[in-house]
Amino acid sequence: MIKVEGYSGKARATTITTEHGEIKTPIFMPVGTRASVKCMWQEDLYEMNAQIILGNTYHLYLRPGHELIEKVGGGLHGFMNWDKPILTDSGGFQVFSLSDINKITEEGVTFSSHIDGSKHLISPEKSMEIQKGLGSDIVMAFDECPKLPATKDTLRESMELTLRWAKRCIDYKLRDYQKLFGIVQGGLHKDLRTECMQRLEEMDFPGLALGGLSVGEKNEEMVDFLNDFVHTMPDQKPRYLMGVGKPLDILNGIRAGIDMFDCVLPTRNARNGQFLTHDGPLNIKNLRFREDTLPADPSCDCKVCKTYSRSYIRHLYTTGEFLAGNLITYHNLYFMIKMTQDARQAILDDRFDDYYKEFYNRYTSRKW
């Protein structure tokens, strides 16, 4: 259930209610694929005001198995001792990106485990069964995310399959708990996306996600598409842009009217030495930081930036100390969450455009 609290242009602020609490949007969701946000304690996530985290059907089904999670912890919340909302992705996308041997049939996706090569099938029903066992607050429909580039015919064919699978998810009787989000596919074709959304609307999902758009660099096409499409989505349903993104991608998504975001980059790139700062990304490996006594981001008030210097964190990173990953990850997640909190306040004050311009100019100032 969602309450729209205000608009600033197409950008909006909402409160989404789930079984494990409220989510104030716009929101960035840290990715905790295998029941852990890498390098973070759950306490760190509470401390930085993470409101909801992601888990993954594909990974948790393979290891340790949703039955074990249900048996040991009564679901993912008890298993990992996280008592706020959890969103689980449905597994299809991960099969395509992780298991190189996979076959798509009407039934579902058969694949060989990337861990031990064992054969498996994930169908819409199987995905719903797993997510039900995990006890997630927001369940994603089982979709097919076509590789790009793809012809319009291929995209239509894939979209039709995604719609047939969506129906099978809805018929699995999960929707009763108001927790199942449909996923709109269709590439960058507004007509396909609109048709897909309308046919999902006939099934009345409580929320809608946009899949197939976390494309890499050529994001001006994505931004143009979002500005043209998102405001045509139902006003009284959460809007989730899957797999997006870098700070500027997220601000572009917010400006177009998106509520929810997730991305692995802030945590993945942290482990590779990349700090997100108000003056743009900074790689701590860079020799220029060797004796730099400044914090990673002088404009950040997180506990990492209040305690450690660039020089020290560079030393940790270059010597392979685990603490480096912990510190950079904590700061990056804090940065992403704080950015969405500031964006939310700017929307409520109806000054989002000013906030966007100020953030954008400083972030692209190329200080290093």
Ligand X SMILES: CC(C)(C)OC(=O)NCc1c[nH]c2nc(N)[nH]c(=O)c12
Angle at 178 between CA 172 and CA 182, to 5 degrees: 65
Asked whether position 145 contacts ligand X by CB under 6 A, the answer is: yes
Residue 184: count of CB within 10 angstroms of its CB: 31
Q: Which residue is nearest to ligand X (CB)?
A: 211
Q: In this complex, which beta carbon is closest to ligand X, that of residue 26 or of residue 146?
A: 146
Query: Whole-number minimum distance, CB 210 to ligand X, in Å?
Result: 8
Beta strands in the chain (DSSP E): 2-8, 11-18, 21-25, 27-29, 53-56, 86-89, 102-104, 109-112, 119-122, 138-140, 180-184, 207-210, 239-241, 260-262, 274-275, 282-283
Which of 26, 55, 92, 325 is close enough to bind ligand X by CB under 6 A? 92
* Amino acid identity at 130: I
Size of the site for ligand X (CB under 6 A): 17
How is 282-325 classified by DSSP, letter by letter?
A: EETTSGGGTT--S-S-TT--STTTTT--HHHHHHHHHTT-HHHH
Q: Choose one: 7-15, 36-44, 237-245, 298-306; the region binding Zn ion (CB under 5 A).
A: 298-306
90: partner contacted, choices Zn ion, ligand X, none (Cβ within 5-8 A by kind): ligand X
**Residue 228 annotated to the active site:** no
**Residue 89 annotated to the active site:** yes
Asked whether position 40 contacts Zn ion by CB under 5 A, the answer is: no
Query: Whole-number minimum distance, CB 339 to Zn ion, in Å?
Result: 12
Enter the tokens of residue 248.
Answer: 């500027």
Report cis status (omega within 30 of 0) of the bond before 146.
no
Asked whether position 233 contacts ligand X by CB under 6 A, the answer is: no
- Distance from the first to the final alpha carbon of the chain: 44
343: partner contacted, choices Zn ion, ligand X, none (Cβ within 5-8 A by kind): none
300: partner contacted, choices ligand X, Zn ion, none (Cβ within 5-8 A by kind): Zn ion
Which of 53, 305, 324, 328 is close enough to bind Zn ion by CB under 5 A? 305
C-alpha–C-alpha distance, residues 264 and 364, integer Å: 21
Active site residues: 89, 262
Q: Which residues of this chain interact with ligand X, rule CB under 6 A?
A: 89-90, 92-93, 140, 143, 145, 147-148, 183, 211-215, 242-243
